[in-house]
Amino acid sequence: MMCITEYFNLNRTLLLTIGLWPYQQSKLDRLRFIFFLGILTTAILFQFTTFFNSKCTADFVVKILSSALFFSTFVIKYIFFAINAKSIKDLLTQLQYVYDQLKDECENAIVEKYNSNAKHYMIVLTAFGICGISVLIIAQLWPNIIAVISPMNVSQVRRLPIMTEYFIDQEKYFSFILLHLNAAFCIGMTVVVATGTMLIAYLEHICGLFKISSYRIECAMRVILFQNIQPKNDTLMLKEIRYAVDIHRQAMKLSKTMVSKFEAMLFCLIAIGVISLSLNLFQIFQIISNRDNNISEILFPSVLVFISILYMFFANYIPQNVTDHNDHVFVTVYNVQWYIAPLYVQKLMLFMLQRNVREFTLGVGGLFVGSLECFATLVKASVSYFTVIYSTQ
């Protein structure tokens, strides 16, 4: 069995980039964290400073909040993950302890399979992040590219992707302001992908533990089917079931512990995410309905909407996957021929079946339960809020 950090090599690379890898916290990492946090924080601050020099109409407030709240999710994830760096290290240590108790190659193969799944998730989400950043940067540079290809006598007005107020000549320092905003977006997307894929990878390994529990139950029952029921085999079967129950219990404990450590962060992200999605949907419809606006302005809120929906989906799909794997353990118990086992083994199996009466879910504050149903509810709520805002115009 490999060291647990070897399973998180790709995650380690991204987290090191933003100074959040829990096993290496040097002074350089802390300086990098402060520097990146400063860029993210000032990007939000200079969006809110527009209220000082502009009339606060409803449309103006919506336009500022739609982007500022989205950027706020970057800061929330960055700060909360930094605060819980030690907790992440402890969770990985506990997972390593469980893996050290694995007994055969089949169980190791299960771990490798789910580790591969985690890497696939990371590659896909990283690709989405790179595409999102690339689209926005190309869109900003496109007018310059067109100007080089087909020069025009009329000078084009340069516009920032979002409204900001730096209290300087924005036309003169346009390139520096644009660089600051793009740097903040790139850092923020790196934070979202790095922290999100780390949590996804951990929960995928938890799914692997549930799968190992199912495998051990099947192995225990195989003793009955392929061997004579003797006291020695009874003891072996009982031992296997005890191992299955123990790893199932540890899987539930580790997943619940992880969610509890990030419960405040998840609650803030849900609330801000729903509001931000609603406001950006409103922004898109405002731009479409107003012919005076440049249609290119629709790109930035569209990217934010896509990222928000994608994040909500994975934030609910992975906990749903954990719940499904837990349910599969009890499906396995139902399907094996436990009724031909000795009486004391039957009692143990019935105890496991009774445990399934209480559904195992990963929730936030008792209000949100990670599931595809919750994803649909959040999207529906966002669309409902958008409809209310749009109907008041």
CA atoms of 308 and 375, how far apart (whole Å) = 11
CA atoms of 79 and 20, how far apart (whole Å) = 10
CA atoms of 113 and 215, how far apart (whole Å) = 14
CA atoms of 18 and 193, how far apart (whole Å) = 11
CA atoms of 214 and 325, how far apart (whole Å) = 9
For position 29, what pLDDT does the model report?
Answer: 86
Report the chain's terminal Cα–Cα distance, integer Å: 61
For position 54, what pLDDT does the model report?
Answer: 78
Which class for 141: exposed (0-12), middle (13-18), buried (19 or more C-beta within 10 A)? exposed
For position 357, what pLDDT does the model report?
Answer: 64
Q: Which two tokens stand for residue 356?
A: 């399934």
Q: Which two tokens stand for residue 161?
A: 């992707």
Helix axes 9-17, 105-149, angle to 10 degrees: 40
pLDDT tens, residue order, the chain (393 aa): 567 888 898 899 999 999 999 887 788 889 999 999 999 999 999 999 998 887 888 888 888 999 999 999 999 999 999 999 999 999 999 999 999 888 788 899 999 999 999 999 999 999 998 988 888 887 777 666 655 565 555 555 567 778 888 888 888 888 899 899 999 999 999 999 999 999 999 999 999 999 999 998 888 777 666 555 555 556 777 777 888 888 989 999 999 999 999 999 999 999 999 999 999 999 888 888 876 556 567 888 888 999 999 999 999 999 999 999 999 988 888 887 767 767 777 777 777 777 666 778 898 877 889 999 999 999 999 999 999 888 887
Q: Are 269 and 78 in contact (CB under 8 A)?
A: no
Q: What is the pTM of this model?
A: 0.90
For position 315, what pLDDT does the model report?
Answer: 92
Residue ranges in the chain assigned as alpha helix (H) = 9-17, 27-48, 50-53, 58-83, 85-99, 105-149, 174-226, 231-261, 263-289, 299-335, 343-355, 372-391
Q: Are 278 and 271 in contact (CB under 8 A)?
A: no
Q: Are 221 and 336 in contact (CB under 8 A)?
A: yes
**Dihedral (CA of 160, 63, 281, 188) sign:** positive
Q: Which two tokens stand for residue 239?
A: 């031992």
